[in-house]
Amino acid sequence: MKRRPTVLLEVEAQAYLALAKATKRGYPRERSALKKLCQAPEFARKTLDTIRFADVERYVARRCEAKGRPATLHRDLAVLRHLYNLAIRDGKVDQNPLKGVKLPKVSNARARYLTEEEERHLFAVLPDSLKPLVIVAF
């Protein structure tokens, strides 16, 4: 049986970034995510085949405790997941340790307020019967 060479996450990240630089608009974001991931204690100086599901779970828990934004964590892990999928395709590893990882819920809700111009336009087209209701809602 042929033994597969072990590859450090940091080395694979550099190879991934070389490809991403030429093909992806989000290269700076991915570079930042991989730098953060490679420095994380759960992944630092580990080979691709030694990173386990439990390591990823610990990383997610630590990031959640640090009160980081869930959407940032999602994007960071999406980069790592893609890196692993390419490594699987290239025969460097057999499985993706991110498979089945539960991520925190992301709330994309934002408070949005009307500008004075938008408010004037709204009241100009609003039926008189609804104006008191909208005034109370503001």
Confidence of residue 38 (pLDDT cuts 50, 70, 90): very high
pLDDT band at 27 (very low <50, low <70, confident <90, very high): very high
Query: Confidence band (pLDDT; 50, 70, 90) for 2?
Result: low
103 inside domain: no
Tell whether 31 is covered by a domain. Answer: yes
The count of domains in the chain is 1
In a domain, 120, yes or no: no
Residue 32 resides in a domain = yes
Domain that includes residue 47, residue range: 9-89
Please report, in angstroms and rounded to a whole number, the separation of the first and last CA atoms in the chain: 71
Residue 103 has a pLDDT of 82
Contact 97, 51 (CB under 8 A): yes
Domain presence at residue 123:
no
Domain membership of residue 61 (yes or no) is yes
What's the pLDDT tens digit per position in 96-136? 999 999 888 887 777 888 899 998 999 899 999 988 888 88
Distances (CA, A) of 116 to 64, 92, 125: 38, 58, 15
135 touches 126 (CB < 8 A):
no
Q: Is 81 domain-assigned? A: yes
The reply to whether 39 falls in a domain is yes
pTM metric for this prediction: 0.74
* Cβ partners under 8 Å of residue 64, min gap 6: 70, 73, 104
